[in-house]
Structure 1
C-alpha cells in the first residue's frame, strides 16, 4: 500500500463539501450547463444563416425572406442521446416552417451549399465549452456554500 504525506485538518468540512457535490452535478445542473453551451452555438448559427432575396407562398401562407435567420433554427433536448445524471445532449436543427434549412446547409443538385450550422459550431465550440464549465463551476460554488 502506498503511503501518503497528506494530512486532512478539517475532515468534517471535507465531508460536508463532498456530501453537497451531488446537488451540484444533478440532472438540472447538467442540463443547464449543456443548454448554455448549445445556446452559444445557436446564436452563432442564427448570425451566419443566409437570408433569401424573394418572398414565396407555401400552402397558402406567404413567407418573407429571413425566416431561417429569425426563427428557423431551434435548440432541442436530445433525450435518446442523453444519460440521466451523466450526459445531457442538445441538438440544433431547423423548424418545420424552415424545413429547407437542410438544403441551404448542404446544397442540392442545382444549388450550392451555404453552410451555417457547422461553421457556427467550429467557430464557437471553445466558447461553448467555456460556458458549460462556467455553469458547472457556479453550481459547485452554490452547493459548497
Structure 2
C-alpha cells in the first residue's frame, strides 16, 4: 500500500507573479538557482541516508589485451552529486541528483535476482520533499529580489 503525501503550498502565487514581472530570462536565472538549492538539499539528505561499508572500494580486472587495471569507484555517498541538465523547452530548469560512478546504487535500491532491495533513495526523497520545497521557495524569493534590485525591475 502506497503512502499518500499531501502538500499545502502557500505564497507560491506571489512568487509566480514576481517571476512574470522579471521576464523569462531573469526568471530562468532565478529558477536555476532555486532548483540547484533544492537538489543540493536532496543530495545532502541522500548522503546521510546512503549505506556505507568499510571495505576497500578498489577493484582490479584484466582488459582484453591482458593489461591489469585497478579502478576505485569510491563510496556511494562520495558519488552523490548535483548537476544541471539541459531542458527540452526554453526557460525550463532541470537539476539532477546523480549517483555518478556508483552504478551499484540501482542494485541497492531495486535489488537483484540474488539480493533483495534495500531502498534508501525513495524513502529519503519522500522524507525530504517538504524540506526541498521550502528551500526552493526561499531561494527563489531571494534570487528574485536580488535580480530585481540588480536589473531595476518590479
TM-score by shorter chain over 0.5: yes
Match of 2:89 in 1: 83
Give how far 1:114 is off.
Answer: 1.8
Q: Note closer, same or farther for the CA distance 1:100–1:22 as it changes in structure 2 (3 Å cut).
A: same
**C-alpha distance in structure 2 between counterparts of 1:55 and 1:84, whole Å:** 44
What SS does the corresponding residue of 2:23 show, helix, strand or coil?
helix
Matched, 1:73 2:80: yes
Alpha-carbon RMSD:
2.8
Of 138, 142, 145, the match for 1:138: 142
Residue of structure 2 in register with 1:114 after alignment: 118
CA distance 1:54–1:125, shift in 2 (3 Å): same
Aligned to 2:76, the other structure's residue is in SS state helix
User: How far apart, in 2, do the equivalents of 1:18 and 1:106 lie?
Assistant: 39
Structure 2 gaps, min length 5:
1-17, 61-68, 150-154
Following TM superposition, by how much is the alpha carbon of 1:57 offset from its aligned partner in structure 2, in angstroms? 3.8
Q: Measure how far apart 1:115 and its partner are.
A: 1.4
Query: How many residues get paired?
Result: 124
Q: Which shifted more, 52-61 or 35-44?
A: 52-61
> Could you give the per-residue CA deviations for residues 37-65 of structure 1, whole angstroms, max 9, x where no partner exists?
0111111111110012432542343659x
Q: TM-score, length-normalised on structure 2? A: 0.67
Listed as ranges, the gaps of 5+ residues in structure 1 are 1-16
Equivalence for 1:45: 46
In the alignment, the residues of structure 2 paired with residue 38 and residue 139 of structure 1 have an alpha-carbon distance, to the nearest angstrom, of: 16
Mapped contact 2:39–2:96 kept (Cα < 8 A): yes
Instruction: Give the TM-score normalised by structure 1.
Output: 0.70
2-side partners of 1:39 and 1:19: how far apart? 25
Map 1:26-37; keep pairs closer than 5 Å: 26-37=27-38
